Amino acid sequence: MTVSSSAPSGTSPVRGVNILVPSSWYEFDIHPATRDASIREVVRERVQERPELADSRTALIRTLTRTADEAWQTGVLYFGALADLSDEAPLTASVTIAVLEADDRADGTADGERPGGGAGGAGGNLAALVAALKPVAAGRRPTDPWRRIKLVELPDAGSAARSEGIDDIELPDDDRTVRMVLMQTFVPFPGGDPRVAVISGATSQLALAEPMLELFDGITETFRFVYADDDPAGSAEKVS
39 pLDDT exceeds 70?
yes
Task: Please enumerate in sequence order all residues whose Cβ is within 8 A of that of 103, keeping only pairs 6 or more positions apart, or say none.
Answer: 111, 121, 123
Provide the pLDDT for residue 12. 76
CA–CA gap between residue 31 and residue 69 (Å, rounded):
9
Over pLDDT 70: what percentage of the chain? Answer: 80
pTM value surpassing 0.95? no
Provide the pLDDT for residue 175. 76
Q: How confident is the model at residue 108 (pLDDT cuts 50, 70, 90)?
A: very low
pLDDT tens sequence across 12-29? 788 899 999 999 999 988
Q: What are phi and psi of 70, to 5 degrees?
A: -65, -40
Cα dihedral angle (83, 87, 88, 94), rounded to 10 degrees? -20
CA–CA gap between residue 128 and residue 122 (Å, rounded):
5
Q: In the β-sheet with 78-84, what is the strand arrangement from edge to edge?
A: 26-27, 78-84, 91-100, 196-203, 177-188, 158-170, 146-154
Provide the pLDDT for residue 113. 36
Indicate the range of 4-18, 81-95, 167-181 predicted with least confidence: 4-18
Angle among Cα 42, 182, 132 to the nearest 5 degrees reads 130
Helix axes 35-49, 57-73, angle to 10 degrees: 140
Q: How confident is the model at residue 102 (pLDDT cuts 50, 70, 90)?
A: low
- Identify the three-state secondary structure at position 105: coil
The CB-side HSE value for 4 (13 A sphere, CA atoms) comes to 20
- Identify the three-state secondary structure at position 199: strand
pLDDT tens sequence across 113-138? 344 455 544 555 788 888 889 999 99
- Per DSSP, 189 falls in state P
Q: What are phi and psi of 69, to 5 degrees?
A: -65, -40
C-alpha pair distances (Å), 99 with each of 35, 71, 175:
20, 13, 25
Indicate the range of 69-78, 156-165, 195-204 predicted with least confidence: 69-78
Average pLDDT over residues 33-52: 90
Find residue 200's DSSP bridge partners.
96, 184
Provide the pLDDT for residue 231. 65
Q: Which of 69, 68, 72 is nearest to 80 (CA)?
A: 68
The per-residue DSSP string of 10-62 comes to SSS-EEEEE----TTSEE----TTTHHHHHHHHHHHHHHH-GGGGGGHHHHHH
Q: How confident is the model at residue 233 (pLDDT cuts 50, 70, 90)?
A: low
pLDDT tens sequence across 49-98? 889 888 888 988 998 898 888 888 777 889 999 988 766 667 889 999 99
- Identify the three-state secondary structure at position 124: coil
